[in-house]
Amino acid sequence: MVKLRGVAGAGIAAVAVLALTACNPDDTAYSGKAEQYKSATPPAPAAPSSAPVSTAHAPAEGGGSAVFGAACETLPHGSEAGGVTAMGQQTVAAAAAANPLLTKLSAAIKSANLTDSLNSAPGVTVFAPSDDAVKAYGEAKFGQLKGAELTSLLNFHVVGKRLDVKGLEAAKNSATLDTEGGQLTFAGSGDKLTVNGAKILCGNIATKNATVFVIDKVLTPGSAGN
């Protein structure tokens, strides 16, 4: 009886060994399967970037109101040169050069050598006389402006901070880059807002570094125009 129990025990032990061998592959086989699993596992998502968002082109104060004005309908559409979308990707003097309403103003900016200073300004508001406004002012008279006189006139159309129409409504008035020319006065609201009496033909045009308001008259330094 003792011998039978020993044989039976040996048989059980052999079965156990076979079972363990089946359930536990050798190191090489296991390693291969682990590599297969590893290669099938998708990579972990990248951690969110901690880099700060650029604030080089600050938004307009007042809430970023939409473009408005009847003359906006005459501009090219979408991303065509001179259109609202295209101008949004350009600095202000470059945008003015492409705007079909502002060919005479753009020529004056170049003549006064103000292109670089306007394009490099960190944030401004530009009241841009339309071509028809220049005609009403007198094309010959406008074309004769040179040097400091032209620079003064053009700078009188630029406020040294970026404002949209709501920002202008809240401000009521503002100094310009022509420090001796006096202030601009803003009256009314929305699409009825005026600047020194000039009406807005197309307003809230956003460029990279400015908000542009196309207006129906040339503003004169030293005069409130109301």
**Residue 33 host element (H or E):** helix 27-40
Q: What is the pLDDT of residue 3?
A: 42
Pick the most confident of 33-37, 74-78, 125-129.
125-129
pTM over cut 0.75: no
Give the strand pairing for 194-195 and 158-159: unpaired
Confidence of residue 223 (pLDDT cuts 50, 70, 90): confident
pLDDT at 77: 86
Residue 140 phi, psi (nearest 5): -65, -45
Instruction: Answer yes or no: is pLDDT of 124 > 90.
Output: yes
Ordered alpha helix ranges (H), 99-200: 103-111, 115-120, 131-137, 139-144, 147-155, 165-171
pLDDT band, residue 58 (cuts 50/70/90): low
Reported as a single tens digit per residue, the pLDDT across 159-198 is 999 999 999 999 999 999 999 999 999 999 999 999 999 9
Among 62-76, 86-100, 118-132, 148-162, name the one with the lowest average pLDDT: 62-76
